Amino acid sequence: MEKKVYLVQIGDLDGKILQYLQKHLNRFFKNFIVSVDILPKMFPLDETDYILERQQYYGKSILRKLEYYVKSNKLFCTLGILDKDIFSISKNKKPYHFVFGLARTRKDLDSPGVSIVSITRLREQFYNRRTKKKREQKRILKEAIHEIGHTLGLHHCDNDCVMQFSSSVYYVDKKPSKFCKACQKELNIFFNVIKSSKFETVYLIKLKNYINKKLN
Ligand SMILES: [Zn+2]
Ligand SMILES: [Zn+2]
């Protein structure tokens, strides 16, 4: 499985958003990922996922359908972007009235990673405020990095970190668009870029002993 992130449009969407994300995510994940590519085919929205009483789409169902597609096409990591308001229900049946995104957190490199981001509530228009393009793009990028982070094995983080859970756009704006040191380290371990600190310590002690012996 080639270590690529695939961006996919779900339903109607301004295609420029995918191009913006491709450019910035490529730069951001360059140490870990071969490339970030845009899938040429749009992933259709299933109208049965629209819940009339809530006037929202059921995010988990969209994620599940995308996961099926990702698995059958053996894609390493996929992020679907949609412009529809989504809600979710947690494992203990607690409803999330809305979510900015969803992902499957995985534990190994062999299982495919799948995630989605809804841009609807990341735009000022949703709150009847004037469009702020740059700020909105930044929000979308942060949530994209966050969901991809989950697909690379990261959990929510309380540090000054993009992996913070955001319950509103206020918190999306507040968090940085990068990983904290702890999450960065976890990513390094996930991709085996560096050895774990435990291994490093053992290695350094051995090296020190070896040098000491030589000197004596
Ligand atoms: Zn999250
Ligand atoms: Zn973190």
Per residue in 52-65, pLDDT (tens digit) is 999 999 999 999 99
Question: Rounded to two decimals, what is the model's pTM?
Answer: 0.88
Per residue in 87-140, pLDDT (tens digit) is 999 888 888 899 999 998 877 777 889 999 999 999 999 999 999 999 999 999
Place of tokens 């993009």: 162
Ligand 1 centre from 101 Cα, in Å? Answer: 7
CATH class entry, domain 4-215: alpha beta
- 147, 153, 169 from 185: Cα distances, Å: 17, 12, 27
Tell me, yes or no, if 147 is annotated catalytic: yes
Q: What percent of the chain has pLDDT over 70?
A: 90
Tell me which residues have their CB within 5 A of the ion that is ligand 2: 157, 159, 161, 163, 180, 183
Give me the helix-helix angle, 133-151 and 16-28, nearest 10°.
60
**Sequence ranges of the domains in the chain:** 4-215
Contact (CB, 8 A) for 43 and 66: yes
Sheet arrangement for strand 95-96: 50-51, 56-58, 86-89, 95-96
CA distance 205 to 173: 44
